[in-house]
Amino acid sequence: MGLWAAGITACGLPERGAGLAAETAEESGTGAGNLLGEENKAEAVAEKGPEGGIPVEIFYGDDNGELILSKEMFVTDVDQQELVRCLVEAGILEDGTEVLTLERREDKKGVYLDVDFNGKFTEKLNRMGTSGERIYMGSVVNTFLTAFEADFMMVTSGGRTIESGHAIYDEYQGPYERSAERTF
């Protein structure tokens, strides 16, 4: 898989800190899955788009299943439920896919996300060929990394490592390479 690392920014997210800081939605007190916090939420609300929502970059595959593209969509809150909703609308995830847990932590090497999906996530993944799997996993990883301003993401399903006929996802993934083309 072609991976690249880049500085990625998103609307109103907290600055990166130096020490290790693990944060879940419950620990931060920001509600179910919202990792923005009240101060940064106010910034994000100030940056609402023409549809009244907060703009987020959502990744998806082209019609040929060869390229990872992105488009701007609008959410009411930057949280995992809203990202899943957008990925369903973009045709990447299926209805019924849920994030069971999401944890964001930082250390001196970067910002890490641990995202655990329900079984619906792997059901679709296991029906795909190699190219489709790269588009599927890359779209999900890139969307979450961008929205939560993270560098690496571990994807699990039901608390277990994901294994498909093409790959074992037992390590943190960085951003997937995408096309220079961007659609809206």
Helices 80-89 and 130-147: crossing angle, nearest 10°? 140
Q: What residues pair up with 155 in beta bridges, in sequence order?
A: 115
Give the closest residue to 68 by CA, choosing from 57, 79, 78.
57
For residue 38, the surrounding DSSP H or E stretch is helix 38-46
What's the whole-number mean pLDDT along residues 34-47?
43
Residue 130's CB is within 10 A of a number of other CB atoms, namely 12
- Please check the confidence at residue 31 and state whether its pLDDT lies above 80: no
pLDDT of residue 178: 76
How confident is the model over 110-138, as pLDDT tens digits?
A: 999 999 999 999 999 999 999 999 999 99
Q: Distance between CA 76 and CA 79 in Å, rounded?
A: 9
Give, as one character, the DSSP assignment of residue 3.
Answer: B
